[in-house]
Each structure stands twice: as C-alpha cells, then as structure tokens.
Amino acid sequence: MPLAAEGATPAPDSPRAPPRCARGPGAWLRANLFANVPSAVATLLLAAALVRVLPAAVRWLVTDAVYSPDYAACRALDYRAACWGFVAQKYRLILFGRYPYADQWRPLAATLLVVVALLVTAHPRSWRRWLWPAWVVILAVFLLLMGGGAFGLSRVEPGLWGGLPLTVLLTLVGMAASIPIGIVLAVGRRSHLPLARAASALYIEMVRGVPLITVLFVASFVFPLLLPMGLRLDVLTRVVLGITFFQAAYMAEVVRGGLQALPRGQYEAAISVGLTWWQAQRKVILPQALTLVIPSFVNSLLSTFMDTSLVTVVSMYDLTGALRLALGDPQWRHFFLEGYLFIAAVYFTSCLAMSRYSAWLEHRLGSWARRPEALRA
Amino acid sequence: MNGPIIEFARVNKWFGKFHVLQDIDLAVGRGERIVVCGPSGSGKSTLIRCINRLEEHQEGRIVVDGVELTEDLRSVERVRREVGMVFQQFNLFPHLRVLENVALAPICVLKLPRKEAEARATQQLARVRIGDQAKKYPGQLSGGQQQRVAIARALCLQPKIMLFDEPTSALDPEMVKEVLDVMLELATQGMTMVVVTHEMGFARSVADRVLFMDQGRIVEQNPPAEFFANPRNERTRDFLAKVLPR
C-alpha cells in the first residue's frame, strides 16, 4: 500500500522548497504581541498603561521642565516638572568634585584622553606590543594633568580629585591591576604545589569574606599606621591598592571558572608536544579560559564601576559623592531627584556601552567556540 | 645505538588502590611497530601514557631513547620532544587555526621564527594530505580531518617515536580509513610506533608485535600471524573471539 496518495508525491528530483513563512508587520504583530488571548490582553493592558504614563513623564522630564539655573523659576514649578537648572548650575561640581574650579579643564582633558584611549584599545586591531608602553604614557599624562606640579600646572592634591575622573581612574586601575593578580591566584589555586594552593585559597577566601567598605576603611585609616616610619602613601594610592587587592580575589574565582571548563586533554596535548607548563598556560589554557569568562569579567567591571561610590566613606568624592556635595547647597537640595537622574544617565550610558562591547568582543574572539557541534566527530 | 628505544623494567603503577600496571617489562626496538590491545580498564592507555610521562609510574624504570624518566623536568621535556602523541579525542587547540596548531611547538619549543615554523607545519599538513585546510579552525573540520591534523601536530617536532591512544575510536566509521592510511604510511617510513587500538586489521597488516593486556599485565605478546592464528592465553582467545569478525 502506498503511504501517500499518488498525486501528492513530488517528482523525486525536484528539490522541495521550505514551507513559506509569513513576513511583514502584520505577521510580526501577530507572532509577538497577539499570539494568543493572554498575550493579547497583556499587550492591551501595557499599551493602556503607556498611554497614561508616557505623556505625563514627557511633560515632567522634557516639555514643562526648567533648564536654566534659575532658582525662582524652579521653585515656581513646585515639583510639577523637573528642574534641570540644578544640574545646569552644579554640573561642574558633580563631574569634577572639589577639584579647583579654575583648573577644571585638566580633569576634563584627562578623562577625555582616557576615554579615547579606551575606545582605541577596544578594537582587537590595536592589540599590538606598543599598546603596553602606550598605556603607561597615557596613565602618566593622566596623573600629570590631574596632579600637576610640573610644566606650569599647579599642584592639586589627590584628596581633591573627584567626580568622573576619580570614578574612571579607580575602575580602570582597579580592574586592570586585579586581572593579572587574579590569574596568578587562580592558577595558584589549581597548582599541584600544596603551598601555592593553600596560600591562594587562603587569600581568596579571606578577602571574599570582607566587605569592600571595610577594605577601604583599613586602606585609609589602619594601613598608614602599619607603614614603616618615613614611608607615606597618599590616600588615593591606598584606596586604589585596596580596590585592586579586593577585586583580585573575585577575579581569581572568575578565571578559575574558565580554567575548570577546559578539558584536561588540552593541557596534555600541549605538554605532549614539548611545551613547558608555563608555555601551555600562556598559549593554550589561558587564551581559551579568558575568552570563556568575558561575560563574568564585564560583570565585575560594571560592579567595580558602581562600587567605587563607596570611596565616599573615606572622604573621596567620586561621581555619586560629588553629587552629594552638590546637594549640600541648601538652596538646591530639594532637587535631588534630578541630580540622581542625571548621574543615573551617566552610569547607564557607560554600562550599556561596556556590555554591548563585551557582547561584540565575545562574538569576535569566540568565533572558534561557536562552530556547529555537528561538525565535530 | 642498537638497543631498544623504549624500555620498561618491572614498572608498577596504582590509581589509588587500583593496581593499574603490574610488573610491566617491555622493550621496543627502533622502527618497531607495536599494537597494544585488551579489554577496557586493562591498563593499555596508562601504559603508553607512561612513555611520555603524562602518567607517572611509581616503581621500576622507564628509559626512552637513552633518557630515564624521573622527577627531573628537564629529562621529561627532552623525552617529550622525541615522542609524538595522538589522542582519542584529538585535543586540537580550538582557538588556533589548523596551521597554528601545528606550528605552535616549533615556535615554542624549538624557538623557530614564525615563518620557518609555518613552512615546516605546511609540510607536515601536506604529509597527512590536509594542506588545503590550513586556514580553518579545528571546529570546522570533520573528525577524520581533525585527527590527521593532530597527527601532523605530533610529527612537527620530527619525533623518533609516535604514540597513538585509540586514534580511531572517536571517529565515524567512514572516517576511520583516512586516519589508518596516514598511520600506515608512517609505518612504511620506518617510524617507531606504539598503537593502542581495536582495529585488528591494522594490527594484522602493520604490527611487528601485538601485545595483549589484561588487568594491568601484559598477558601475551607475539607477531600478528602467531597472535591471531594461535593465541595461547585463555583471556586472549576470549578477547579475540569477541572483537574479530567471524
């Protein structure tokens, strides 16, 4: 008995086209918003809510808002609309903290320099040997611009640095310095040498058992007492060291996760062609492990970026801290909502950029990891 | 030198309480081709992994090309240069292109300039007839192609000895032949080979000697004609009855 009716059997050598799939806006709407009754109801409810909320939000945020730093006009609003006048009045204090007002072009230039350098560094095409010395120079210029004391720039104590440049510096140096330490700790924790293993594990568990705020207190108030006489480190250096060594413990576990994911055969294949343990780590194990953990790296990067606001506890004023300084003005202190919305926008834009970049990088570096499994035997 | 190139003398090894190698005595001559077979868990993989010290033996002596394998890292690294290994799971480096996979050891171990190392790698890839895939990543190749790249990688330091640890067991049946053909060619070029495999056809046509292992011991060893026609040990007969087609 034939399985199908004669007429329905296609000619044996005519290739069958895949079933047609519906396209166009109508089909998209049906598939995504009105696929079934519950989803249609949800769509309608949300649309209704948007219609109610959106105009009010636009009025509050944009159309009715006051943009000039005019206190009387802002008071007259009686909170019925946003007073961006506060941000217009105080943006330099928020962005640069207590840095001397007349010299604030210096933190601006320093921050722009680092941001541009980061953008260039972000592309794999610039991952060459010259990148390391270039960054040493960039950091030196950054510190010179901020700190002054040469080339006719007046000296500005690190205690006065604040706002965005401080946030950028703490995040950048904290992250960059903690990754290599984290790699060493992670490799140490998996070493076959008992002493290296115990030391790494002890460090990681101890640091992870302490909140960052405690580390900052210790770095700021206790650590100077422990330094030998005559040796002094300024508060900024101590805080950077604190953040770095704190972050390194978390980095170590991130890297260890990547190392754990590699099959043992990779290491065996590397040493069986005569590579030493170091060469195997450097050429075979770490490049794969680090690519695998890019998402977790970015996780840590974002949380470090935000955690830097904790330095206010040791009287340093990063972006968040500087906003609080600005809100200390009794005239403007009612407009904290606008202030926080402003720095939230700064944080959000930066974090979105970083996370989109990481997704792109993961895609680019990991192309070897995304080949269809079916091709492997 | 006319002595054996690999020598095991009363070698013992345990995994925890499990006695995986028991009093192994073995001498492999230069250019000799040995096939090791036996049921799973009999210690055959461990035996050949001891030759380049991916596993450490606990008692006895192993001497490879005049160098005794000990704790001393330098002697181990010297031996590994002389011994190439091919794994069941290929273990290619997925983040490197095929050419880079093969050129890595010449660059890192022999300190050759990149150009020279890649020329040498290209040569080895041609030898396993896969030169046209040099720019691809391992994940883009079929299993048989990957295993041939792995052979080229193992050959790139021009080793005196090649170890094969079940090189065809992870392959789809239609790819087994292309790998065996490459191994056959190596054998005719006079390479010393120790091969763990269940490919009895290969053993019959290539091996100078077939070893049968069971429960950590070498139970029987003979030239293939004798081994297959006239197995002396009961366990060998059992094993052959199961693996040989009737």
- CA–CA gap between residue A354 and residue A106 (Å, rounded): 25
pLDDT digits (tens, 9 = 90+) for B168-221: 998 888 899 999 999 999 999 989 999 999 889 899 989 999 999 999 999 999
Structure tokens at A148: 């002054």
At residue A120, the pLDDT reads: 87
Is the CB of A265 less than 8 angstroms away from the CB of B146? Answer: no
- CA–CA gap between residue A58 and residue A47 (Å, rounded): 16
pLDDT of B62 above 90: yes
Which among A350, A302, A327 is positioned nearest to A90, based on CA atoms? A327
Do A347 and A268 contact (CB within 8 A), yes or no? no
Q: Is the dihedral of CA A15, A21, A24, A26 positive or negative?
A: positive
**Chain B partners within 8 Å of A262 (Cβ):** none
Mutate to test the interface with A, among B93, B111, B194 (most CBs of A within 10 A): B93
Is the CB of B105 less than 8 angstroms away from the CB of A273? Answer: yes
CATH number of A85-369: 1.10.3720.10
pLDDT digits (tens, 9 = 90+) for B128-171: 998 898 999 998 898 999 999 999 999 998 999 999 999 999 88
**Chain A partners within 8 Å of B156 (Cβ):** 273
B96-110 in b/e form (b: 16+ CB < 10 A) is bbbbbbbbbbbbbbe
**Chain A partners within 8 Å of B176 (Cβ):** none
A48 CA to centre of own chain: 35
At residue B131, the pLDDT reads: 87
**Chain A partners within 8 Å of B109 (Cβ):** 273-275, 279
The mean pLDDT value of chain B amounts to: 91
Q: Helices A336-365 and A294-307 sit at what angle, rounded to 10 degrees? A: 160
> Strand pairing partners for B221?
B211
Chain B residue closest in CA terms to A286 = B95
**Chain B partners within 8 Å of A266 (Cβ):** 91, 93
Q: Helices B143-155 and B98-108 sit at what angle, rounded to 10 degrees? A: 20
pLDDT of B117 above 90: yes
What pLDDT tens digit does each residue of chain A (377 aa) get? 455 455 555 556 677 877 777 677 788 888 888 888 898 899 999 999 999 999 888 888 887 877 878 777 777 777 777 788 788 878 888 888 888 888 888 889 898 999 899 888 888 888 888 888 888 899 889 888 888 777 878 888 887 888 888 888 888 888 889 999 999 999 999 888 899 999 999 999 999 888 888 888 888 888 877 777 777 777 888 888 888 999 999 999 999 999 998 999 999 999 999 999 889 999 999 988 888 888 888 888 888 888 888 888 777 788 888 888 888 887 777 778 888 888 888 889 988 988 888 888 888 877 665 544 433 33
At residue A75, the pLDDT reads: 79
Q: Is A261 on the interface with B (CB under 8 A)?
A: no
Closest CA–CA distance from residue A368 to any residue of chain B (Å): 6
* Number of Cβ pairs < 8 A linking chain A and chain B: 90
Is the CB of A268 less than 8 angstroms away from the CB of B144? Answer: no
At residue A372, the pLDDT reads: 44
**Chain A partners within 8 Å of B157 (Cβ):** 273-274
Chain B residue closest in CA terms to A282 = B108
Q: Is B141 on the interface with A (CB under 8 A)?
A: yes
Domain ranges of chain A: 85-369
How far, in Å, are B40, B194, B237 from residue B243 at the CA level? 13, 20, 10
Is the CB of A274 less than 8 angstroms away from the CB of B153? Answer: no
In sequence order, which residues have a C-beta less than 8 Å from that of residue A61 and are 6 or more positions away? Answer: A82
Is the CB of B104 less than 8 angstroms away from the CB of A376? Answer: no
**Chain A partners within 8 Å of B89 (Cβ):** 263, 265
At residue A70, the pLDDT reads: 77
**Chain A partners within 8 Å of B46 (Cβ):** none
> Strand pairing partners for B68?
B63
Do A291 and A137 contact (CB within 8 A), yes or no? no
Do B97 and A268 contact (CB within 8 A), yes or no? no
ipTM of the shown complex: 0.92
Question: Is A371 in a helix, a strand, or coil?
Answer: coil
* Mean pLDDT, range B53-72, rounded to an integer: 91
Question: Is B61 in a helix, a strand, or coil?
Answer: strand
Q: How many CB atoms lie within 10 A of CB A149?
A: 11
Q: Is B139 on the interface with A (CB under 8 A)?
A: yes
At residue A303, the pLDDT reads: 87
Closest CA–CA distance from residue A276 to any residue of chain B (Å): 7
Closest CA–CA distance from residue B238 to any residue of chain A (Å): 31
pLDDT digits (tens, 9 = 90+) for B219-229: 999 999 999 98
A350 CA to centre of own chain: 7
At residue B27, the pLDDT reads: 93
* Mean pLDDT, range B18-23, rounded to an integer: 93
Q: The pTM is what?
A: 0.79
